[in-house]
């Protein structure tokens, strides 16, 4: 089969920012794409979706994919983000395509399983314990005080984007953050408490080929992420950490991916680095989220999506190098909750030397909910430059140009019958 005839199934959700980038890459490679979208039935018809899949019912979704593939054979199944990773592994298994073990994909999606597998393999990772959400506070406090210690971090098992992730410095704060998590996710069942990892944080983007990890980029996260919540802002690559520390980051992430049993495809890992070494915050069997992949270009301007499609359709990518220049993104933080009425300064932000793009993704007249309950950013600023310092300064300057009008929400209470 030559590249021309290949059909790839892309697993997406309505929240995926990245389908467009994959479609552009596929067009360039002459690969046909079918999107399998996790959508309610009514919307799927309205949107003219080719293949509607319920990611929460993976067995049914797999049988739909297999039936589809009988008519139109698939060369690969690619998850665009976390939500589709387990389904991609299951579907690939059913179709006899190269895939990550289902257990590995599941472990990368479940923060408790991930911690168990990292600990079993002796990979640097925080102390941790899982509790039922309705566990008595006295029992949680006793265990955390004795076995985990303060500060600690409370987090849900299955969310992304730092939602529900909260630091507690002492018993009083721990009771408060668990209460907040109960209100936020009354049906979550369980939650995780981890020891707080001090240090600077980096993100590693990599691909696995036959179980070997090839680093594509290490991003510094120069804004301190010390809690109480952990809103990501700036990512800049290449990292400014010393070469030997970067090497240690790659080795630790590779050990983490191996501990989970991940064998091929994208890896996105977050690590903290301190004097005791590199520590795994998490390892995911997917690529970098949101629009952030736009910061990465390989060889002759190849996108990360193209690299992923190439690998998924059987081409080796381990020789590919990220382009030389420094690059970065700012995920524009939500300063406070309310209704986004408007913004100014986009042109001035775009005019900052080094800034390549400013995209405000939050819809106007909609509610903005900051962390830990909220889940998205106001938008993204992209910059490139000769050095990471230059890129970081450009991102900060562009951010200063942007002014957002966020009105306090007026809550109307209707009293009595009209």
Ligand X SMILES: Nc1ncnc2c1ncn2[C@@H]1O[C@H](COP(=O)(O)OP(=O)(O)OP(=O)(O)O)[C@@H](O)[C@H]1O
**Which residues here bind ligand X, judged by CB under 6 A?**
111, 126, 153, 155, 159-163, 165, 194, 196-197, 201, 225, 230, 270, 281-282
Instruction: Provide the b/e sequence for 262-280 (b: ≥16 CB within 10 Å).
Output: bbbbbbbbbbbbeeeebbb
**Tokens 């049906």 belong to residue:** 187
Least CB distance to ligand X at residue 410 (A): 31
Gap between the Cα atoms of 218 and 250, Å rounded:
9
- Give min distance, CB of 409 to ligand X, in A: 25
**Count of residues that interact with Mg ion, criterion CB under 5 A:** 2
Q: How far is the CB of 333 from ligand X (least distance, A)?
A: 14
The DSSP bridge pattern shows strands 403-407 and 367-368 to be: unpaired
CA angle 65, 308, 395 (to 5 degrees): 125
Task: From the list ligand X, Mg ion, none, pick the one residue 163 interacts with, judged by a Cβ distance below 5 to 8 Å according to partner type.
Answer: ligand X
In the complex, least distance from residue 224 CB atom to ligand X, rounded to whole angstroms: 10
Q: What gap in Å lies between CA 50 and CA 85, rounded to an integer? A: 20
- Residue 365 to residue 387: CA distance in whole angstroms: 38
Which x/- pattern, by CB under 5 A, does the window 270-289 give for Mg ion? x-----------x-------
CB-based burial label for 336 (10 Å; 0-12, 13-18, 19+)? exposed
Quick one: what does residue 161 bind among ligand X, Mg ion, none, with the CB cut-off 5 to 8 Å set by partner type? ligand X
- Looking at the Cβ atoms of 52 and 221, the one nearer to ligand X is 221
114/401 with CB nearer Mg ion: 114
Helices 111-120 + 243-260 axis angle, to 10: 110
Instruction: Give, in order, the Cα–Cα distances in Å from 157 to each of 26, 112, 115, 190, 236.
Output: 33, 6, 11, 7, 28
Identity of the residue, 38 or 201, whose beta carbon is nearer to Mg ion in the bound complex: 201
Q: Which does 196 bind (CB under 5 to 8 A by kind): ligand X, Mg ion, none?
A: ligand X
**Whose Cβ is closer to ligand X: residue 3's or residue 162's?**
162
- For the CB of residue 106, give the shortest distance to Mg ion in the complex, in Å: 17
- Closest distance between Mg ion and the C-beta of residue 235, in Å? 12
Q: Identify what 159 binds: ligand X, Mg ion, none; CB under 5 to 8 Å per kind.
A: ligand X
Q: Which is nearer to ligand X, 259 or 355 (CB)?
A: 259
Asked if 138 and 147 touch (Cβ cutoff 8 Å), the reply is no
Give 371's DSSP letter.
T
Q: Which is nearer to ligand X, 283 or 312 (CB)?
A: 283
Cα–Cα distance measured from residue 5 to residue 26, given in angstroms and rounded to the nearest whole number: 12
153 binds, among Mg ion, ligand X, none (CB under 5 to 8 A by kind): ligand X
The one of ligand X, Mg ion, none whose footprint includes residue 165, by CB under 5 to 8 A per kind, is: ligand X
Give DSSP secondary structure letters for 325-346.
Answer: SEEEEEEE---S-EEEEEEE-H
Q: Give the total residue count for the chain.
A: 418
Q: Which does 58 bind (CB under 5 to 8 A by kind): ligand X, Mg ion, none?
A: none
Residue 344 tokens read as: 């100014």
Residue placing its CB nearer to Mg ion in the complex, 230 or 382: 230
Which CB sits closer to Mg ion, 282 or 390? 282
Distance in Å, CB of 68 to ligand X, minimum? 29
Structure tokens at 103: 């257990």
Closer CB to ligand X, 377 or 382, in the complex: 377
**CA–CA gap between residue 159 and residue 165 (Å, rounded):** 9
Nearer to Mg ion, 29 or 165 (CB): 165
Write down the least CB distance from residue 173 to ligand X, Å: 14
Nearest distance, CB of residue 93 and ligand X, angstroms: 24
Shortest reach from residue 16's CB to Mg ion, in Å: 17
Classify 272 in phi/psi space as left (phi over 0), alpha (psi -120 to 50) or beta: beta
Phi, psi of 59 (to 5 degrees): -65, -45
Where does this chain bind Mg ion (CB under 5 A)?
A: 270, 282
């Amino acid at each position: 089969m030559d590249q021309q005839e290949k059909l790839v199934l892309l697993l997406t959700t309505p929240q995926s920012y990245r389908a467009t980038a994959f479609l552009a890459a596929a067009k360039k490679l002459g690969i046909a794409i079918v999107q399998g979208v996790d959508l309610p039935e009514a919307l799927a018809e309205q949107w003219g979706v080719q293949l509607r899949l319920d990611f929460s019912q993976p067995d049914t979704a797999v049988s739909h994919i297999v039936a589809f593939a009988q008519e139109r054979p698939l060369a690969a199944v690619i998850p665009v983000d976390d939500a589709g990773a387990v389904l991609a592994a299951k579907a690939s298994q059913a179709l006899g395509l190269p895939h990550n073990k289902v257990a590995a994909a599941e472990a990368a999606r479940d923060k408790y399983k991930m911690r168990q597998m990292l600990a079993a393999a002796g990979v640097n990772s925080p102390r941790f314990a899982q509790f039922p959400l309705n566990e008595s506070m006295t029992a949680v406090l006793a265990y955390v005080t004795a076995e985990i210690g303060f500060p600690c971090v409370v987090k849900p098992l299955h969310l992304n984007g730092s939602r529900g992730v909260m630091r507690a410095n002492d018993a009083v704060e721990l009771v408060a953050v668990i209460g907040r998590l109960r209100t936020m996710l009354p049906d979550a069942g369980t939650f995780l408490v981890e020891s707080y990892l001090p240090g600077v944080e980096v993100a590693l983007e990599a691909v696995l080929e036959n179980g070997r990890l090839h680093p594509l980029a290490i991003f510094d996260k120069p804004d301190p992420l010390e809690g109480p919540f952990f809103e990501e802002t700036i990512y800049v690559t290449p990292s400014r950490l010393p070469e030997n520390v970067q090497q240690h980051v790659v080795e630790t992430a590779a050990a983490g991916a191996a501990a989970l049993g991940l064998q091929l495809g994208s890896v996105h890992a977050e690590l903290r680095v301190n004097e005791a070494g590199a520590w795994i915050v998490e390892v995911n069997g997917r690529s970098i989220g949101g629009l952030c992949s736009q910061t990465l270009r390989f060889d002759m301007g190849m996108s990360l999506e193209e690299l992923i499609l190439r690998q998924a359709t059987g081409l080796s990518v381990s020789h590919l190098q990220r382009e030389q220049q420094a690059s970065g993104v700012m995920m524009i933080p939500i300063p406070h909750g309310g209704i986004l009425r408007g913004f100014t300064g986009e042109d001035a932000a775009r005019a900052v030397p080094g800034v390549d793009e400013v995209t405000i993704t939050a819809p106007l007249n909609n509610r903005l909910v900051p962390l830990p309950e909220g889940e998205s950013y106001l938008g993204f600023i992209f910059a490139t430059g000769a050095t990471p310092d230059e890129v970081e300064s450009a991102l900060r300057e562009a951010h200063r140009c942007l002014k957002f009008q966020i009105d306090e929400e007026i809550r109307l209470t209707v009293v009595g019958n009209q």
